[in-house]
Amino acid sequence: MIILPSPARIVGYSLLVILAVLALAGPEAFNLDPVRQSLRNTLLPPSATHVLGTDHLGRDMAARLLSGAQLSLSLALLAVVSASVFGTTMGIISAWRGGWIDRAINTLSDSILALPGLLLVLMMAAISPGSWWVLYVGISLTLWVEYFRFTRQRTRILLDHPSVQASRLLGFGYPHILKRHIFPELMPGLFTLAAFGAATSVTAMAALGFVSVGLRPPTAEWGVMMTQLLPYWREAPWLILQPIACLVVTVLALHLSVGSLTKPNI
């Protein structure tokens, strides 16, 4: 792990909070409409009426970026939550029960790990192009493995720990052991994984959108916006830089908030 100095984490958290608030508020909160076009007011530079200018169809850029933030962050949140819940549950079951259940889940996770994550998401995207749900399923399917492997490995060690053994002997049930001994130990690691998972899903969505196999126009997705605004680089260079900046800031915030450039080794 490449650890970053601690002020980085504060910057990261602040950026994340700002992004989350903006995404939650959405374009509606600023009385903006991301689909409203004005074909006679295209490629306008930033001004009082259009804070970030207008795109090639005369749509308000700020509104579209906010709407893109909603798409990206909601995908990241949902994918990370479902992957972590599923992966952690599988990890605990695997560690606790052992035997053929452990072997079965392990084989499943190995088969997903055998392919680079994005490849799986790409292939999933081919099943139903342009669908948000397929991206969500594909990304979650890739992400859960990390949670599973991390949880399984740590839980196995924790279960052997004398304090857990003692709890078991004292007759405490699974809920108690999980709550008192396992989860507190797992949480920091899970949060780190969550931040990386979120960065992965935001990036994957934009990358697929950019190469035209993800969400489709006229959706205000950051990657799609980059593809569409690239031709106007000469006339309106500020336009393409906006979705790129949004994506970079989001990924940067996520990396800074966990204070690391690289995932923990699992």
Partner 1 sequence: MIQRFGPLVAGRLVQAILVALVVAIVSFAMMQALPGDAAYRIAAGRYGYDVMDAAAAELVRTELGLDRPLTLQLLDWVVALSTFDLGNSLVSGNSVWSEVADQLGASLLLAICAIVLSVLIAAPIGVVAGLNAGGWVDRLSLVVSVATRTVPAFALGIILMLWLAVEAKLFPVAGYGNGRHLVLPSLTLALGLAAVSNRVIRDAVYDATRSPWYAFARNKGLSNSAVFRRHVARNVAVPAVAYVGVQLAYLIEGVVIIESVFAWPGIGHALVHAIFERDVPMVQGTALTLGLIFVALNLLVDLLCRWLDPRGAGSLR
Partner 2 sequence: MIDRLFIALALALAFFIQNVGAAESSEIRVAAPWEISGPDPSTDGFVFLRMGVLETLVSTSESGNLQPGLAENWSTTSDGLTWRFTLREATFHDGTPLTSDAAVTALQRAVSNPGPLGKVAIDSIEADGRDVLIKLTSPFLPLPAVLSHSSTVIPAPSSFDPNGKVLSAIGTGAFRVNELKPPQSLTTARFDGYWGEKAEMASASYLAVKRAETRALMAESGDADIVFTLDPAGFKNLKSVDSLKAVSVAIPRVMLIKVNAGHSMLGDETVREALSLAVDREGIAAGITRYPEAAATQTFPPGLGDWHNAELPALAYDPQRAKSLLAKAGWSAGEDGILVRDGKRFSLTMRTFPDRPELPLVAAAIQDQWREIGIELNVSVANYSEIPKGHQDGSLEVALFARNYGSIPDPYGSVLSDFGAGGGDWGSMNWDNPEVVAALGKIANTDDESVRTSLIKEIGKAIHTDLPMIPVVWYQHTVAYKKGLEDIVIDPLERSYGLNLVNWAQ
Q: Does 97 bind partner 2 (CB under 8 A)?
A: no
Instruction: State the Cα–Cα distance between residues 252 and 248, nearest whole angstrom.
Output: 6
Q: Which of the ranges 24-32, 131-139, 157-165, 213-221 carries the binding residues for partner 2, by CB under 8 A?
A: 213-221
Find the largest Cα–Cα distance for the chain. Answer: 77
- CB 15 within 8 Å of CB 248: no
Helices (H), 160-236: 162-169, 174-177, 183-210, 222-229
Q: Is 118 in the site for partner 1 (CB under 8 A)?
A: yes
Q: Which listed residue (75, 206, 236, 258) binds partner 1 by CB under 8 A? A: 206
The stretch among 13-21, 35-43, 107-115, 182-190 that binds partner 1 (CB under 8 A) is 107-115
Cβ atoms of residues 263 and 193 within 8 Å: yes
244, interface contact from partner 1, partner 2, none, CB < 5-8 Å by kind: partner 1
Which residue stretch of 12-20, 30-38, 60-68, 256-264 sits at the interface with partner 2 (rule: CB under 8 A)?
30-38
In whole angstroms, the minimum distance from the beta carbon of 178 to partner 2 comes to 47
Q: Are the CB atoms for 53 and 43 separated by under 8 Å?
A: yes
User: How far is residue 17 from each of residues 58, 66, 212, 239, 254, measured CA to CA in Å?
Assistant: 30, 14, 30, 24, 11
Per-residue x/- mask for partner 2, residues 112 to 151, rule CB under 8 A?
-----------------xx---------------------
Contact between 83 and partner 1 per CB under 8 A: no
Distance, in Å, from the CA atom of 167 to the CA atom of 170, rounded to the nearest integer, reads 5
Among 111, 166, 174, 179, binds partner 1 (CB under 8 A): 111
Find which of partner 2, partner 1, none residue 235 binds, CB within 5 to 8 Å per kind. partner 2
In the complex, what is the shortest distance from the CB of residue 240 to partner 2, in angstroms, rounded to a whole number? 10
State in angstroms the smallest separation of the CB of 163 from partner 1: 29
- Alpha helix (H) ranges present in 51-182? 61-97, 99-113, 117-127, 132-159, 162-169, 174-177
Judged by phi (left if over 0) then psi (alpha if -120 to 50, else beta), residue 219 lies in: beta
**Among partner 1, partner 2, none, what binds residue 110 when CB lies within 5 to 8 Å by partner kind?**
partner 1
69 binds, among partner 2, partner 1, none (CB under 5 to 8 A by kind): none
